[in-house]
Amino acid sequence: MPDLGGIGVDLVIALAFLFAGWYPAGLLWQRRRSARYVRAIGTAAERLAAPGRRPEIRWVGRAAFQVVVDGRPPLRRVAIVALLSAREVLGIWLANVVRRRGDALVVRADLARPPARPVEAYRGRPGREARGRIGEAWRTRAVQGVAVASPVADDAADGRLARLAAELDSISIAADSPHLVIGVPTARLLREDGAAWLAATVTEIAGLAS
């Protein structure tokens, strides 16, 4: 009959080695992923910057940072916020994988003038920003497979927003600061053209909101 006690001890030792060995590998993975985000976001911020302005990076621990810059018109101020899933601790990483919680990227921007028409565009369920701003007076409709909500419909503008939102998680345009809140899929940002795509997308949304 197998020695269950011995098997249990061996299992505990094996798990201890697994968790101990995972930490340096996960830390290296996290640093490399952070570096990729910093490069892509920094390049996008440079494209959005007003002449003579340089992006600034602000770290919040090892798993979050934001890049801020004074934007070129119609943008006034842009902050691109990245929150990385914890990769150093195996248990936390596995829990996030099970719950489908990966890295998150959000653009928050203020315009030179507040938008005249608030609107939300999103795929699937609205995010926290959208749920907080959509009231009973808002009308939600499907445009090109994307949910668009606003007090007043604008077919031309809503069609362009829906086209942009098809590649994003969500778009929020509001009169209060931040005027723009854009949920960005991290996988799209990390493509070869990700930085140029993000800068062009933010610029186009800012133009629609102005």
Q: What is the pLDDT of residue 73?
A: 95
Query: Does 146 map to a domain?
Result: no
In a domain, 148, yes or no: no
> What pLDDT shows up at residue 85?
84
Q: Does 182 reside within a domain?
A: yes
DSSP codes joined into one string, 76-143: EEEEEEEEPPP-SSHHHHHHHHHTT---EEEEEEEESS--SS-EEEESSS--HHHHHH--TT-EEEEE
**Residue 129 counted as domain residue:** no
- Decide: 144 and 163 in contact? Cβ < 8 Å: yes
145 within domain boundaries: no
Q: Please report the pLDDT score of residue 4 as a whole number.
A: 44
Q: Block means of pLDDT (10 residues each) for the chain, length 210 residues?
A: 51 56 70 92 97 94 91 97 81 68 92 93 61 64 88 91 94 94 95 96 95
pLDDT at 26: 67
Q: How many domains does the chain have?
A: 1
CA-wise closest residue to 206 among 75, 46, 69, 51: 75
137 assigned to some structural domain: no
Q: Is 52 within the bounds of a domain?
A: yes
In-domain check, residue 157: no
CA–CA distance, 153 with 141 (Å, rounded to integer): 9
Instruction: Note down the domain range covering 45.
Output: 4-116+175-209
- pLDDT for position 125: 54
| The pLDDT value given to residue 131 | 45
Query: What local confidence, expressed as pLDDT, does residue 114 receive?
Result: 94
Q: Which candidate, 123, 117, 119, places its Cα nearest to that of 133? A: 119
